[in-house]
C-alpha cells in the first residue's frame, strides 16, 4: 500500500484509451465499474476532443456483482458492435474488473463477433499508463499487421503518437515535413490517425520512426523482428538531435541527409547577446524519460544552461536516464512520488525547472520559474497554435518556451539597479507576464504561494526555525531582487547552520554570498 497525493501516470487502461481514442474505426469495450467513465473527460475536456472516446464501459454496480457481470459484459460488447460497427475491437478490464476475474478477453472471443477482437492483459496493480499504451499498441499491431509488399518509394511509419500526448498532434506534422524534405513519404502514422486497416498495411513501410519510446517501443521491436523494419533510435527534439535524426534516417535508407534550415532560429537566438544571461542558469529536469533525455542535451548544449539534476517518473526509462545522469556527473531521480521530486528540487535550489505540470506547481510554491516539457498534460498543453517539440520548429518552440518564464536579460539588471522602485516590488513579477497578480500567472510566474502547500505532507522540517535573522540582515535581504531572494535566504541559512551561527547579521549574509559565489 502506497500513499499517493498526485500521480504522474494514470492506470494502464487509460493508456489503452489513449491508443483507442487516437485511432479511428477501433472500439474499446472496457469491463469497469460505474465511475470509471471519468476518463472520458480527459479527452473531451483536457484535449478538447469533439467526440466521445470510442469506449463502452460495462459500468457494473454492487447489485450486479452477486448476479452476472459476465453477461453484462457480453451484452455491452454486442451493443457496442451493433451501434458503432468498428473494424476491430479491443477488450479489457479496469482495476476493479480485474479483481472479479470475468476474463473479458476470453468471453469476447467466444461471441463470434465478425471483426477481430483483441484481448488486453493490463495488470492494474503493477503497471501504469505508459505501459498500458505501449502494450495495447503492440497487441493491436501484432494482431492486425500483415506481411505486405514494400512501397516502391521509400516510406516510413511514424509510431508512438496517441491521444492526450504531449504535443503529439504537432510533432506528427513536423516529422512528416522533415522526412518529406528528404524525399521520404509517410506510410502510416499510428496509433494516432490510423484505422485497423491502416495498421494492416504498416509492413509496406521501409522503416519506422519511433517518435515516443514510451508508447511504441514494443511495437517497434516486433515490427523489426517480424517485418525486418528497422526503427530510429534518436528522438529529434532539439537542434543537435534533429541533425542526428536526419543522419540516422539517411543511414537507414541510403538517401542523402538533407535538412532545410531556413526556418531554424534556435542557434542564432542562443548566440545572440541577449542570451548571455542564460549562461550557466541552473536547471532541474523532470518528466517522462524521452523528453527529459532530449531536454538535457538541449539545455546544456544549445541553451548553455547548467543541468543540476535530472529524473523521470517512468521506471521503464530509468536505465537511459541514469546513464545520462552519470555522464553529466549527477544522480538521477527516478520516482513517481511527487513529494520526493519536490524535496529534491527544494534541496537543489535550481534557478529554473523544466518539468511537468506537477513541477510547475512545485515551482510556483518555491518561487522558481518553470517551463513544461512533458506529460502529464493539462489543458494548457493543447495550445490552439502550432507548437511542436520535435524538428526545426520544435527547437524554436523550445527556445521560446524555456526563456519565457525567466526574467529577461536587461530587465534583470534594471531590477538590480532600481531595486527600490515602487513598481519593482516583490509581487510585480516579470513584466512580460502581464498584470500584477503573479499568483494567477499562467506560466508559473515568480511568486511563491503564500500559505498552504502540499509540503505539509512531506514532513520536511522548517530549517529557518534554527537560525534567527537580525533586523538589519532582514532589511538587507529585502534589497535583493525577489527572484533570487529565496535562494539567498536559503543559502545564508544553510551557511549559518553549517557554521553553527545562531544569528544572521548583515556580515553573515555577505559572507554566505561570497561563499556561494560562482
Partner 1 sequence: MTELPRLPSSGGCRETPILKQRGQREVFCGLTGIIWLHRKMQDAFFLVVGSRTCAHLLQSAAGVMIFAEPRFGTAILEETDLAGLADAQDELDKVVDELLSRRPDIKQLFLVGSCPSEVIKLDLSKAAERMTQRHAPSVRVLNFSGSGIETTFTQGEDACLASMVPVLPQDDQRQLMLVGALPDVVEEQAIGMLEAMGIGPIKVLPAPRADGDMGVGKGTVYALTQPFLGDTHDALTRRGARHLPAPFPFGEEGTTQWLAAIATEFGVAPELFEQVTAAPRARARKAIAQAAETLKGKSIFFFPDSQLEIPLARFLTRECGMQAIEVSAPFIHKGIVGSDLDLLAEGPTISEGQDVDLQLDRAREARPDLTVCGLGLANPLEAEGLATKWAIELVFTPVHFYEQAGDLAGLFSRPMRRADLLKLEAAE
Q: What residues from 456 to 495 belong to the interface with partner 1 (CB under 8 A)?
A: 456-459
| Sole binder of partner 1 in the list 27, 31, 74, 128 (CB under 8 A) | 128
Write out the three cell numbers for 29: 469495450
Does 46 bind partner 1 (CB under 8 A)? Our answer is: yes
Active site residue 274: yes
Please identify, using beta-carbon distances, which residue of 65 and 468 lies nearer to partner 1.
65
Does 60 bind partner 1 (CB under 8 A)? Our answer is: yes
Does 188 bind partner 1 (CB under 8 A)? Our answer is: no
Please identify, using beta-carbon distances, which residue of 245 and 286 lies nearer to partner 1.
286
Does 35 bind partner 1 (CB under 8 A)? Our answer is: yes
Does 404 bind partner 1 (CB under 8 A)? Our answer is: no
Judged by CB under 8 A, the stretch of 9-17, 207-215, 286-294, 305-313 that binds partner 1 is: 9-17
Closest separation between CB of residue 107 and partner 1, Å? 17
Please identify, using beta-carbon distances, which residue of 291 and 361 lies nearer to partner 1.
361
Q: Which stretches within 182-212 are classed as H helix? A: 196-200
- Locate the DSSP E strands across 174-239: 185-190, 207-210
DSSP letters for 427-485 = GG--GGG-SS-GGG-TT--SPPP-S--GGGGTT---GGGGSEE-HHHHHHHHHS-HHHH
Does 94 bind partner 1 (CB under 8 A)? Our answer is: yes
Does 233 bind partner 1 (CB under 8 A)? Our answer is: no
- The site string for partner 1 over 240-279 (x = CB under 8 A, - otherwise) reads ----------------------------------------
Residues 6+ apart with CB under 8 A from 107: 70, 73, 74, 77
Please identify, using beta-carbon distances, which residue of 36 and 393 lies nearer to partner 1.
36
Residues 6+ apart with CB under 8 A from 174: 388, 390, 391, 392, 393, 394
What value, to the nearest 5°, has the Cα angle with vertex 93 and ends 92 and 99?
145
CB 142 within 8 A of CB 115: no
Q: What residues from 374 to 403 belong to the interface with partner 1 (CB under 8 A)?
A: 376, 378-379
Residue keyed to cell 542535451 = 297
Does 71 bind partner 1 (CB under 8 A)? Our answer is: no
Q: What residues from 424 to 453 belong to the interface with partner 1 (CB under 8 A)?
A: 452-453
Closest separation between CB of residue 97 and partner 1, Å? 9
CB 234 within 8 A of CB 244: yes
**What is the Cα–Cα distance from 443 to 353, expressed in whole angstroms?**
12
Residue keyed to cell 500521480 = 7
How many C-alpha atoms does 506 have within 13 Å on its Cβ side?
A: 7
Please identify, using beta-carbon distances, which residue of 99 and 323 lies nearer to partner 1.
99
Does 110 bind partner 1 (CB under 8 A)? Our answer is: no
Judged by CB under 8 A, the stretch of 29-37, 141-149, 411-419, 422-430 that binds partner 1 is: 29-37
Q: State the DSSP H helix or E strand holding residue 411, giving kind and residue range, or none if neither.
A: helix 409-417
Closest separation between CB of residue 444 and partner 1, Å? 11
Judged by CB under 8 A, the stretch of 2-10, 276-284, 296-304, 319-327 that binds partner 1 is: 2-10
Write out the three cell numbers for 299: 539545455
Judged by CB under 8 A, the stretch of 5-13, 187-195, 281-289, 466-474 that binds partner 1 is: 5-13
Q: State the DSSP H helix or E strand holding residue 242, giving kind and residue range, or none if neither.
A: helix 239-253
Please identify, using beta-carbon distances, which residue of 327 and 452 lies nearer to partner 1.
452
CB 367 within 8 A of CB 446: yes
Residue keyed to cell 496509433 = 191
Write out the three cell numbers for 517: 559565489
Size of residue set near partner 1 by CB under 8 A: 65
CB 287 within 8 A of CB 357: no
Residue keyed to cell 476470453 = 106
User: Per the omega criterion (within 30 degrees of 0), is the bond before 104 cis?
Assistant: no
CB burial of residue 163 (10 Å; 0-12, 13-18, 19+): buried
CA 181 to chain centre: 28
Does 49 bind partner 1 (CB under 8 A)? Our answer is: yes
Please identify, using beta-carbon distances, which residue of 56 and 270 lies nearer to partner 1.
56
Closest separation between CB of residue 226 and partner 1, Å? 32
| Sole binder of partner 1 in the list 19, 118, 124, 223 (CB under 8 A) | 124
Closest separation between CB of residue 454 and partner 1, Å? 6
Question: What are residue 186's phi and psi, to 5 degrees?
Answer: -95, 130
What value, to the nearest 5°, has the Cα angle with vertex 286 and ends 293 and 239?
35
Judged by CB under 8 A, the stretch of 122-130, 150-158, 290-298, 391-399 that binds partner 1 is: 122-130
Active-site residue, from 274, 400, 421, 507: 274
CA dihedral 400, 403, 406, 407 (to 10 degrees): -80
Does 103 bind partner 1 (CB under 8 A)? Our answer is: no
Does 52 bind partner 1 (CB under 8 A)? Our answer is: yes
Question: What are residue 19's phi and psi, to 5 degrees?
Answer: -70, -50
| Sole binder of partner 1 in the list 5, 347, 439, 440 (CB under 8 A) | 5
Please identify, using beta-carbon distances, which residue of 94 and 387 lies nearer to partner 1.
94
Catalog residues that contact partner 1 under the rule CB under 8 A. Answer: 1-7, 9-11, 13-14, 33-42, 44-46, 48-52, 56-62, 64-65, 76, 79, 83, 94-96, 99-100, 123-126, 128, 357-358, 361, 376, 378-379, 452-454, 456-459
| Enzyme catalytic residues | 274
Amino acid at each position: 500500500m502506497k500513499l499517493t497525493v498526485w500521480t504522474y501516470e494514470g492506470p494502464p487502461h487509460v493508456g489503452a484509451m489513449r491508443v483507442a481514442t487516437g485511432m479511428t474505426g477501433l472500439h474499446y469495450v472496457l469491463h469497469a465499474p460505474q465511475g470509471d467513465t471519468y476518463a472520458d473527460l480527459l479527452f473531451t475536456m483536457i484535449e478538447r476532443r469533439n467526440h466521445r472516446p470510442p469506449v463502452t464501459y460495462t459500468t457494473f454496480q454492487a447489485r450486479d456483482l452477486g448476479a452476472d457481470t459476465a453477461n453484462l459484459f457480453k451484452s455491452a460488447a454486442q451493443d457496442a458492435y451493433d451501434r458503432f460497427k468498428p473494424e476491430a475491437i479491443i477488450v479489457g478490464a479496469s482495476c476493479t474488473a480485474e479483481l472479479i476475474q470475468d476474463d473479458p478477453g476470453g468471453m469476447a472471443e467466444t461471441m463470434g463477433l465478425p471483426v477481430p477482437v483483441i484481448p488486453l492483459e493490463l495488470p492494474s496493480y503493477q503497471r501504469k499508463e505508459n505501459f498500458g499504451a505501449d502494450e495495447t499498441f503492440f497487441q493491436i499491431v501484432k494482431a492486425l499487421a500483415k506481411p505486405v509488399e514494400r512501397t516502391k518509394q521509400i516510406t516510413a511509419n511514424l509510431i508512438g503518437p496517441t491521444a492526450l500526448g504531449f504535443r503529439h498532434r504537432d510533432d506528427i506534422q513536423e516529422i512528416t515535413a522533415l522526412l518529406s524534405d528528404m524525399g521520404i513519404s509517410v506510410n502510416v502514422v499510428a496509433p494516432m490517425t490510423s484505422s485497423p486497416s491502416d495498421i494492416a498495411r504498416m509492413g509496406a513501410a521501409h522503416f519506422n520512426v519511433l517518435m515516443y519510446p514510451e508508447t511504441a517501443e514494443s511495437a517497434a521491436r516486433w515490427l523489426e523482428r517480424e517485418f525486418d523494419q528497422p526503427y530510429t533510435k534518436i528522438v529529434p527534439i532539439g537542434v543537435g538531435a534533429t541533425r542526428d535524426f536526419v543522419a540516422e534516417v539517411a543511414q537507414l535508407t541510403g538517401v542523402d541527409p538533407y535538412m532545410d534550415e531556413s526556418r531554424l532560429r534556435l542557434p542564432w537566438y542562443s548566440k545572440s547577446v541577449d542570451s548571455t544571461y542564460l549562461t550557466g542558469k541552473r536547471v532541474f529536469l523532470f518528466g517522462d524519460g524521452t523528453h527529459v533525455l532530449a531536454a538535457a542535451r538541449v539545455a546544456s548544449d544549445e541553451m548553455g544552461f547548467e543541468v543540476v539534476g535530472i529524473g523521470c517518473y517512468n521506471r521503464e526509462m530509468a536505465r537511459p536516464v541514469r546513464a545520462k545522469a552519470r555522464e553529466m556527473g549527477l544522480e538521477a531521480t527516478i520516482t513517481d512520488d511527487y513529494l520526493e521530486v519536490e524535496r529534491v528540487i527544494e534541496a537543489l535550489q535550481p534557478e529554473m525547472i523544466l518539468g511537468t505540470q506537477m513541477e510547475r506547481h512545485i515551482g510556483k510554491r518555491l518561487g522558481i520559474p518553470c517551463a513544461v516539457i512533458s506529460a502529464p498534460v493539462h489543458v494548457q498543453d493543447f495550445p490552439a497554435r502550432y507548437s511542436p517539440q520535435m524538428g526545426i520548429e520544435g527547437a524554436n518552440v523550445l527556445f521560446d518556451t524555456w526563456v519565457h518564464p525567466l526574467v529577461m536579460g536587461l530587465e534583470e539588471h534594471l531590477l538590480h539597479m532600481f531595486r527600490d522602485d515602487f513598481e519593482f516590488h516583490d509581487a510585480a513579477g516579470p513584466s512580460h507576464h502581464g498584470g500584477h497578480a503573479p499568483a494567477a500567472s499562467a506560466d508559473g510566474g515568480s511568486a511563491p504561494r503564500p500559505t498552504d502547500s502540499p509540503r505539509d505532507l512531506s514532513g520536511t522540517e522548517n530549517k529557518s526555525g534554527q537560525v534567527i535573522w537580525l533586523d538589519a540582515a532582514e532589511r538587507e535581504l529585502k534589497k535583493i531582487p525577489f527572484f533570487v531572494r529565496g535562494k539567498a535566504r536559503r543559502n545564508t541559512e544553510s551557511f549559518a547552520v553549517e557554521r553553527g551561527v545562531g544569528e544572521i547579521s548583515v556580515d553573515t549574509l555577505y559572507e554566505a554570498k561570497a561563499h556561494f559565489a560562482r
